[in-house]
Amino acid sequence: MATPTHVLQVFSGSWYVGPDEDEDYFEMMFRAFDEENFAAYIFSLPRPGWPDDFKAEELAKAGEIFLQAGGAPTRMTLDTRVEKHGRQSLCVVGRTPSADTNTAPEERVKVGENEATVQPNEVFEWREAAQIFYYYYKTMTVPDGYVLREVA
């Protein structure tokens, strides 16, 4: 078995995954959840390894840069924390906008007990979200053609 490269959390479960997962792995994971309260989170480990190979502080630091999805399979939102020039930013992932994004977000996506308010281009169905997760898993960034809107 290969040494894991990432941590994947779905609801309250965590798995050490990588380096050989394929796109079908992520599609299967997203497709399996048909509930309103879907949530997934992925981050890269500081180096390949197993849980006992890391101190808690190392995992906490690594988990600061992530991609996460939340909502229902037919209506979810994705956000990522990125680091540029030593500064971290939380950003919502979206398709290249087809409308004015200077207006306040109005689309509501239920995420657990909360609601996220996003732009129309920031609402995804499970298949596209799984493809973005797979790309992120391989590259630690979102694919070309998507934009990041900074929210914090």
Q: Is the pTM of this model over 0.85?
A: yes
The half-sphere exposure of 22 on its side-chain side, counting CA atoms within 13 A, is: 1
Q: What's the number of domains the chain is made of?
A: 1
For the residues of 101-115, what is the DSSP string, one character each? SSSPP-EEEEETTEE
In-domain check, residue 1: no
Tell me if 88 sits within 8 A of 81, measured CB to CB: yes
Give the separation between CA 125 and CA 128, rounded to whole angstroms.
6
Q: Which residues of the chain have pLDDT under 70?
A: 1, 12, 34-36, 98-101
In-domain check, residue 136: yes
In-domain check, residue 104: yes
Which residue segment(s) compose the domain that 132 sits in?
6-150
Identify the pLDDT of residue 36: 66
Q: What are the tens digits of pLDDT across the range 27-60?
A: 988 887 766 677 899 999 999 999 999 999 999 9
Angle 134-135-139 from CA coordinates, rounded to 5°: 120
In-domain check, residue 50: yes
